[in-house]
Homo-oligomer: A and B are copies of this chain.
Amino acid sequence: MTDRFLNALKGTNTSGRPPVWLMRQAGRYMPEYRVIRSRHSFLEMCHRPELIAEITMLPLKAFQMDAAILFSDILLIPEALEVGLHFEEKLGPVIARPIKNRAHVEALPKIDVRESLGFVAEGIKYFKIDDSKTPLIGFCGGPFTLASYMIEGGSSKDLRKTKEIMLRDPDTLHMLLDLLANYSIDYLNMQIDAGVDALQIFDSWAIFLGHPQFREFSLAYLDKIMKGIKKDKPVIIFCRGSSVFAPDLAELNPQGISLDWNADLSRVRSQIPPGIALQGNLDPDILLASKHVLQREVYRMLASRRGDSAYIFNLGHGITPEVPYENVRALVETVQDFT
């Protein structure tokens, strides 16, 4: 097992440089990925254990990342709840039967996550057979983000429908969030049992919320998950908005907080307990710059956290499809060459 990543989550990475991995590191910017994508639907790629393992491996083979992240999608729990998930070119995820009211929440089927999503556990085991050295990060979506997708019926620029339920019928939203938190606990425990070495929870859409609503509708359910899962694996929490919400997230005592790209890393460092690792937070669009500018920005970030034994290099959000492959290589090599 390569220790740099897991050590950073314990605050004990004294290897001379931070570990590096990138959110959505197995994605459309990779020609190898696009070849697989041309043969399979996105959901098929998420459903078939051998493809999960193969795709998870792609960025490790290409760039020697310090951690792998399970190839999957946060929307597999909603899919298992039979809301009619599919992916449309350009639109992204679409949910055919969105949640509009309490009756819709009550009508959701009761599922056994280990049965419905057992293929994810299989994918983890396949990966671990192929690569027993690289730490593997399992993940799930935050309940608020999952609920938002289920209510909006897909992506949204304002979460207007979710906010209307939140403000007009908060009990229904709480019922949905509680149900999703419970399934997420089962889901993460299944991933731990299957062999992941760490976990990340993505509550990407928390940034739409004011501070009191963030605490009530996002943080409370992240807290429930943190308390419900087995304690033996480190957990990283990410939100869009984690730049602002980091002190709140720190209250949950995760091993790491992953910052969106607005934050000044050193400023956030001073706001949260030293025992919590920080991960982030390069603007993903910097990967569209020339190699020279990219290297300069990566170096600037590395220099600002020099000597920090609890820092993990990453982006502030996922890699976008337009990013040049060679720029990802340049980024990773700049981190690897840093001393």
Do A262 and B290 contact each other (CB < 8 Å), given the known contacts A210-B282, A282-B210? no
Is A207 an interface position by the 8 A CB rule?
Answer: yes
CA distance A286 to B159 in the complex (A): 12
Is A267 an interface position by the 8 A CB rule?
Answer: yes
B residues less than 8 Å from A281 (CB atoms): 210
Is A3 an interface position by the 8 A CB rule?
Answer: no
Task: Give per-residue flags for A1-21: 1 if the beta carbon is below 8 A from chain B beta carbons, else 0.
Answer: 000000000000000000000
Is A148 an interface position by the 8 A CB rule?
Answer: no
Is A160 an interface position by the 8 A CB rule?
Answer: yes
| The residue from B247, B261, B290 contacting A267, defined by CB atoms under 8 A apart | B247
CA distance A267 to B272 in the complex (A): 13
Q: Determine if B163 and A285 form an interchain contact, defined as CB atoms under 8 angstroms apart.
A: yes
Is A168 an interface position by the 8 A CB rule?
Answer: yes
CA distance A262 to B205 in the complex (A): 12
Is A204 an interface position by the 8 A CB rule?
Answer: no
Count of this chain's copies in the oligomeric assembly: 2
Classify the secondary structure of A's interface with B. helix
Is A283 an interface position by the 8 A CB rule?
Answer: yes
Which of A210, A212, A297 gathers the greatest number of chain B CB atoms within 10 Å? A210
Closest to A206 in B: B262
Q: Determine if A211 and B262 form an interchain contact, defined as CB atoms under 8 angstroms apart.
A: yes
B residues less than 8 Å from A241 (CB atoms): 262
| The residue from B207, B263, B264, B282 contacting A262, defined by CB atoms under 8 A apart | B207
Beyond the given A167-B285, A168-B290, A210-B261, could you list 6 further A-B residue pairs with CB under 8 A, ordered by the A residue number? A167-B286, A168-B289, A212-B297, A243-B244, A244-B263, A245-B262
